[in-house]
Structures are given as C-alpha cells and as structure tokens.
C-alpha cells in the first residue's frame, strides 16, 4: 500500500482520501493499486455499505494521472511502463463503474483527466464552488481517456465533443447543469455531509439533498446553442470551418483554442466519442481506449505536447502531423485497431 492514499473504515462506511497534495493528488500506479485492492476487499466483505472518495488537503481533488511517468516511458522504454499504468488505471475506472456499493466523490477543487476517471463512475458526484472540471488531454497530444469516451459522448447536445476538443474548464454550477455532478454543496457543508454519511450510509441521497443548495447560473448555458451548432459534426475540419464562418467573439476564441491542440488527438477524440456512443458496455469502451492509449503514447505528439506545456512551459508544441488534413483515416484506423489477443485490456 502507499501513503499517497489514506484509507479508513468508519463503521459501515469506507473512506478513501487521495494524499499527494504537491501534485494536486494526481494518480500514481501505486495509488491505483491501493484503491483497487481496498475496493475489492470492501466488496468481498459484508461490513462496508458505502464509500466516501475525497482528497486530504490542498486545492485539487485529483489533477490527473502520472504524466511524468508516461512521458518517461514514451521516451525510454517504448511505452511499456506507460501501457502498464494505463491498463491498471483503466481497471480501477471499470471496477468503480461496476461497483455494487454507492461511492460518493467529493469533487472539491481541480478534477481533471485521471480525476474525472475516478469521479464520474461514482453514483454520487458532489461539486462545490471550487470545482474545476476538465479533460484537457488534446493540449498535450493525448485524448480524453479513463472512460472519457463513455461519459462525454453521453452528455448530449455535443457538449462532450466540445469539452473533449477544447479542454474547456467547467465550474461546479456548470457541472451540475451538464449532469456531470449530481449535487452542489458549499465547501463549508462538506464536513457535515461526510460525517452524516459515515453515520448513516443508507441515507446518502437524503443527506446530500438536504445539504445541497441551488448553484449559481451555469455560464456555459448561454453558449449551448452555439456549441450544438458548431460542434455538430464528427469531422474535425467541419467544426473548424463552422467556427471560421462565425464572426462572433465566442467563435473566434474557441477557434483560437483549437488551433493550439494536437490535430491528431482532436481527430482521435471525435472518433472515440462517436464509437463509444454506440457501445453498450463500459468494459468495451475501456478496451477501445486502451488500444488508443497504447498507440498514442508512443506517437510524436504526446512527448512533444508534454514538453511544450508541462516541462518547458513554452506552449509551442510542434505537432506531427501539423494540420488536420495531415491526419489520415489510415492513421486513425491504425490507432483504433485491435491489439494482439494477449495484449488487449482486461477487467479485474
């Protein structure tokens, strides 16, 4: 086990608290393993009736996955350790999605990437005034994985496609409006909510309803019609052309944002969401996303994106291919193709 996750049982309630504050609780492989092992033990035993998932301190719920490990793997071991990380992280995502006891995720603070992967499978997802939700992967040459294809494709109104491509950040009110969060609580109510859930794990729904407040107006609602219009196509070039033809300030801003993203992974994300929407099992989605991750990890854009955005902070990634037109259907086919049978993703 690891001291990067605090794990306790209080009577009939299990409590998993992410504890890597300097990295905004970004997930390591050891953290994923500790969580999976604990959830399996609680599932097998009869004592625990519900699980609280939160973070110990600091301003992030969970800022993502171990990007440094993934980049090191891409550059130094042909992606082997990176694939291992993705494989086991996706097992945790699936385990949580299928878990037969309710999990309450307190998304208080930054909830991005890998944090989304452990929050959205939970039955109860609590947003606050500090929540900042995003899937920003296309900006570093990745794609919205950890179940993002499943969750985003089911938001409706092309909102998922907008979030996947732009990496837009939603606040807590917007998360409730979009259906990403189930409840909105002010931060000062969280301790009471956790204490009452610990005492009465059979009354989670009622407790959260009693403590919830009406969130502020969701700012994104004002742009929802524009999102539906401009992000309607599954063809990336169509989305860019639609935004180019609109002389509004909003369209110009979103177009400028898209111009900074990896054309390859924007096209990957659009196909990923289109394919995921047709799937009827979360396991099939994770199998698809593992195939994508295994290929994208070692393609040029990931290492280059992390260098430009996270390591050097120059924000000048040189994408390869450099243009949407350069990303061929044949390249996409190769990224989505099945892996050899003994390398495919498998659930726990």
pLDDT band at 1 (very low <50, low <70, confident <90, very high): low
Closest of 248, 249, 262 to residue 306, by C-alpha? 262
- pLDDT over threshold 90, residue 275: yes
Mean pLDDT over 236-245 rounds to 98
Question: What does the pLDDT look like over 61-96, one tens digit per residue?
Answer: 999 999 989 999 999 999 999 999 999 999 999 999
pLDDT, mean over the chain: 97
- pTM of the complete model beyond 0.95: yes
Q: Which residues are catalytic?
A: 65, 114, 137, 145
What CATH code would you report for 5-343? 3.90.226.10
Q: Exposed, middle or buried by CB within 10 Å (0-12, 13-18, 19+), for 238?
A: middle
Q: What residue has token string 């694939």?
A: 83
Could you give the C-alpha distances from 312 to 70, 80, 167, in angstroms and in order? 16, 24, 20
Q: Cα–Cα distance between 72 and 133 in angstroms, integer?
A: 26
């Amino acid at each position: 086990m690891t001291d990067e996750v605090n794990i306790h049982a209080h009577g009939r309630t299990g409590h998993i608290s992410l504890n890597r504050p300097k990295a905004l609780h970004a997930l390591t492989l050891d953290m994923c393993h500790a969580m999976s092992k604990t959830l399996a033990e609680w599932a097998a035993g009869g004592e625990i009736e519900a699980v609280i998932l939160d973070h110990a301190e600091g301003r992030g719920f969970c800022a993502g996955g171990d990007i440094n490990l993934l980049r090191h793997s891409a550059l130094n071991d042909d992606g082997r350790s990176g694939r291992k990380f993705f494989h086991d992280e996706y097992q945790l995502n699936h385990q949580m999605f299928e878990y037969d006891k309710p999990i309450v995720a307190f998304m208080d603070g930054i909830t991005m990437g890998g944090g989304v992967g452990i929050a959205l499978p939970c039955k109860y997802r609590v947003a606050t005034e500090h929540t900042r939700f995003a899937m920003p992967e296309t900006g570093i040459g990745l794609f919205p994985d950890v179940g993002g294809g499943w969750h985003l494709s089911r938001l409706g109104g092309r909102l998922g496609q907008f979030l996947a491509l732009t990496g837009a950040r939603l606040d807590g009110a917007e998360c409730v409006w979009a259906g990403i969060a189930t409840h909105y609580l002010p931060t000062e109510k969280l301790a009471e909510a956790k204490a009452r859930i610990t005492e009465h794990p059979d009354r989670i729904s009622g407790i959260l309803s009693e403590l919830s407040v009406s969130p502020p107006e969701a700012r994104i609602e004002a742009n929802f019609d524009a999102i539906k219009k401009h992000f309607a196509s599954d063809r990336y070039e169509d989305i860019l052309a639609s935004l180019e033809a609109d002389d509004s300030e909003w369209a110009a801003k979103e177009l400028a944002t898209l111009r900074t993203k990896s054309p390859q992974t924007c096209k990957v994300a659009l196909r990923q969401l289109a394919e995921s929407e047709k799937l009827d099992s979360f396991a099939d989605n994770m199998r698809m996303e593992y195939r994508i991750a295994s290929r994208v990890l070692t393609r040029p854009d990931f290492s280059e994106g992390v260098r430009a955005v996270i390591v050097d902070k120059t924000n000048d990634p040189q994408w390869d291919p450099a243009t949407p037109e350069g990303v061929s259907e044949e390249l996409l086919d190769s990224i989505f193709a099945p892996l050899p049978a003994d390398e495919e993703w498998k659930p726990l």
